[in-house]
Structure 1
């Protein structure tokens, strides 16, 4: 359950759209939120995928060298 506060102008516009479409304000708001989340969730997944592919192409020997040098520096 989610409660959302709208300014009076947006509430009136939403009510008008709901009337013209024969739908409830809640139904329209639910659809709008679903579309927003789908859009932004997909963008997040694309970015995660891009970073994962980029990391998989890195030279791991370079990373190993870094960690080895750090361990030696700390006397481990």
Structure 2
């Protein structure tokens, strides 16, 4: 469970979008957080892959299969 404090303007805007879409504010916030985490988690994996490849002296193609498998671990 997560509680989030929003300023009144953002909460009003969120409520308006929720009404327009016929969804709850929680549904919209959950989707927004999920997208944010997915975006930043993927960026983290790309950077880890880049650093690993660079440190090992291997080329990216060599590690492609490993990183495809690693993406499925989450």
Q: How many residues align?
A: 58
Give deviations 1:19-66, integer Å, cap 9, x for gaps: 0000000000000000000000000000000000001108xxxxxxxx
Q: What pairs up with 1:1-76 in 2 under 5 angstroms?
A: 1-57=1-57
- Structure 2 length normalisation: TM-score? 0.77
Unmatched runs of 5 consecutive residues or more in structure 2: 59-74
After superposition, the CA RMSD in angstroms is 1.0
**Relative contact order, CA 8 A, sep 6+: which one is greater?**
2
Unmatched runs of 5 consecutive residues or more in structure 1: 59-76
- Considering only CA atoms, is the larger Rg found in Structure 1 or Structure 2? 1
- Structure 1 length normalisation: TM-score? 0.75
Return structure 1 stretches of 4+ with deviation > 3 angstroms: none
Q: Distance in 2 between matches of 1:4 and 1:40?
A: 19
